[in-house]
């Protein structure tokens, strides 16, 4: 049985109709109930304020505009990889500007957030991971994204690139229903790390973002990273860390609820989100995703660029036992902060911190709201191999009893 819950816009199953009625009051207040069937007619405009903005964006692109000048660009493909890894890239650009083709699928998948409690979420993702893959380009490059929404999806998705300019960061031009794809090209005009996230409209925006639908783009200066004096700064590896706040609904016994398909938790999630108190704040999708066997690895003398993405909420990363030798909290246009103890991630940004390991051992990389680190999950580990340097630290006396 199919019905239209928004006449002319969305075809949906009976289950979605029921869901729509559950959502109706919330949706009327807070935003679109953008559950999907195949697209029927024009893009959905369920939420008046955002619809107006989308209309504006569409009007602009439909107006007479000169075609983009792509002369001088070399077309290349970037194979995106799952976090915490980074795609193959140059730190200093060689040759002219590139037109970088990437593809992302808006995959909806059930993910365990915490094995100890059984907490789970129907994650809304780019390419199946939380965070979505890291994209790397240089200032002046073009990024050409093919965004595909799989046929078996429940929901509509899009993407807002904070690194881009215009049309709500591309959000106004990339709404895709299940079975649809779209292609968006944008120019990287500002160097820095930037978040990207889904933004379908209204309450669906925080719903999608707090279900994992966010990631980062790094736009490097063409001549690479520099310190305040203009000296080149190189890294040996990237650790790409996405911090995700989840607001997972519980039942009357305090157990985490489970749901049959993506979107089924919408009404419960709205209630949980309104508390502004996350049940989880985790790195790379789940408690322990970057500890134990999955810990980040480095060697003494290696320089790691830690890229931290938080699309929704402030954070304050600290590398326990180390520092931020160079920290770019805002952009690569300004000189990095030096020798930073704990750095700041403004909610809705990605940023970068560089450190060269000097001692072996396990380093905890935490949100130094230690309640979030220890109780909500915001802890990663770097396991660093190498020779211990007693000049930097030595246990002069091991713990022993002393005379009273």
Should residue 104 be labelled a site residue for Cu ion when binding is judged by CB under 5 A?
Answer: no
Residue labelled with tokens 């690194």: 163
Active site residue 160: yes
Active site residue 341: yes
List the structure tokens of 257: 């609820």
Please state, in angstroms and rounded to a whole number, the distance separating the CA atoms of residues 113 and 289: 9
* Residue 205 CB, nearest approach to Cu ion (Å): 9
In the complex with Cu ion, the residue whose CB is nearer, 6 or 214, is: 214
Q: Among the candidate windows 2-10, 107-115, 206-214, 250-258, which touches Cu ion by CB under 5 A?
A: 206-214
Please state, in angstroms and rounded to a whole number, the distance separating the CA atoms of residues 150 and 179: 5
Among residues 213, 298, 305, 373, the one that binds Cu ion under rule CB under 5 A: 213
In the complex with Cu ion, the residue whose CB is nearer, 39 or 381, is: 39
Residue from 162, 175, 211, 308 carrying the catalytic annotation? 162
Select from 292, 303, 315, 284 the least CA-distant residue to 383: 292
Residue from 114, 160, 245, 265 carrying the catalytic annotation? 160
Residue from 157, 211, 280, 323 carrying the catalytic annotation? 157
Active site residue 58: no
**Site size for Cu ion (CB under 5 A):** 5
Contacts of 385 (CB under 8 A, 6+ apart): 297, 298, 299, 300, 360
* Residue 176 CB, nearest approach to Cu ion (Å): 9
Should residue 157 be labelled a site residue for Cu ion when binding is judged by CB under 5 A?
Answer: yes
Work out the end-to-end distance of the chain between its first and last CA atoms, rounded to an integer number of angstroms.
81
Should residue 208 be labelled a site residue for Cu ion when binding is judged by CB under 5 A?
Answer: yes
Give phi and psi for 8, each to the nearest 5: 85, -10
Active site residue 318: yes
Please state, in angstroms and rounded to a whole number, the distance separating the CA atoms of residues 287 and 381: 12
Residue from 280, 308, 318, 323 carrying the catalytic annotation? 318
Residue from 104, 198, 218, 354 carrying the catalytic annotation? 198
Q: Among the candidate windows 190-198, 256-264, 326-334, 346-354, which touches Cu ion by CB under 5 A?
A: 190-198
* Residue 155 CB, nearest approach to Cu ion (Å): 6
Strands (E) across 44-174 are located at 74-77, 98-105, 108-114, 119-124, 135-138, 142-148, 160-161
Do residues 328 and 352 lie in contact, with contact meaning Cβ atoms separated by under 8 Å? Answer: yes
Q: Among the candidate windows 120-128, 166-174, 305-313, 393-401, which touches Cu ion by CB under 5 A?
A: 120-128
List the structure tokens of 391: 């000049």
Should residue 198 be labelled a site residue for Cu ion when binding is judged by CB under 5 A?
Answer: yes
Active site residue 162: yes
Q: What is the CA radius of gyration of the chain?
A: 23
| Bond preceding residue 131 cis, omega within 30 of 0 | yes
Q: Among the candidate windows 19-27, 36-44, 195-203, 245-253, which touches Cu ion by CB under 5 A?
A: 195-203
**Residues in touch with Cu ion (CB under 5 A):** 124, 157, 198, 208, 213
Tell me which residues are annotated as active site: 157, 160, 162, 197-198, 208, 213, 318, 341-342, 368
């Amino acid at each position: 049985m199919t019905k239209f819950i928004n006449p002319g816009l969305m075809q949906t199953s009976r289950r979605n109709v029921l869901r729509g009625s559950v959502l109706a009051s919330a949706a009327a207040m807070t935003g679109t109930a953008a559950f999907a069937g195949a697209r029927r007619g024009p893009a959905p405009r369920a939420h008046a304020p955002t619809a107006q903005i989308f209309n504006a964006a569409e009007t602009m692109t439909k107006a007479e505009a000169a075609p983009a000048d792509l002369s001088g660009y070399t077309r290349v493909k970037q194979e995106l990889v799952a976090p915490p890894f980074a795609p193959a890239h140059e730190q200093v650009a060689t040759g002219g500007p590139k037109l970088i083709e990437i593809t992302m699928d808006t995959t909806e998948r059930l993910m365990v957030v915490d094995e100890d409690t059984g907490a789970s979420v129907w994650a809304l993702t780019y390419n199946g991971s939380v965070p979505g893959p890291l994209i790397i380009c240089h200032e002046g490059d073009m990024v050409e994204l093919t965004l595909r929404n799989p046929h078996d999806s429940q929901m509509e998705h899009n993407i807002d690139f904070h690194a881009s300019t215009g049309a709500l960061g591309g959000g106004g031009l990339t709404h895709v229903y299940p079975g649809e794809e779209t292609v968006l090209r944008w120019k990287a005009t500002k160097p820095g790390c930037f978040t990207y996230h889904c933004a379908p409209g209204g309450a669906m925006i925080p719903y999608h973002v707090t279900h994992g639908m966010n990631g980062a783009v790094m736009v490097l200066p063409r001549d690479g990273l520099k310190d305040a004096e203009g000296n080149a700064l190189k890294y040996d590896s990237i650790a790409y860390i996405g911090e995700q706040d989840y607001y997972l609904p519980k039942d009357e016994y305090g157990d985490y609820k489970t749901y049959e398909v993506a979107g089924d938790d919408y009404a419960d999630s709205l209630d949980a989100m309104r508390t502004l108190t996350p049940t989880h704040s985790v790195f790379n999708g789940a408690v322990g995703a970057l500890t134990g066997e999955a810990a980040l690895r480095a060697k003494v003398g290696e320089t790691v660029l830690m890229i931290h993405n938080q699309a929704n909420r402030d954070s304050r990363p600290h590398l326990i036992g180390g520092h931020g030798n160079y920290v770019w909290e805002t952009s690569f246009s300004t000189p990095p902060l030096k020798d930073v103890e704990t750095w700041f991630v403004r909610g809705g940004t990605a940023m970068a911190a560089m450190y060269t390991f000097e001692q072996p051992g396990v380093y905890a990389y935490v949100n130094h709201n230690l309640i979030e680190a220890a109780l909500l999950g915001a802890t990663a580990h770097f396991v660093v191999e190498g020779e211990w340097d007693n000049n930097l630290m030595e246990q002069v006396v091991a713990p022993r009893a002393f005379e009273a």
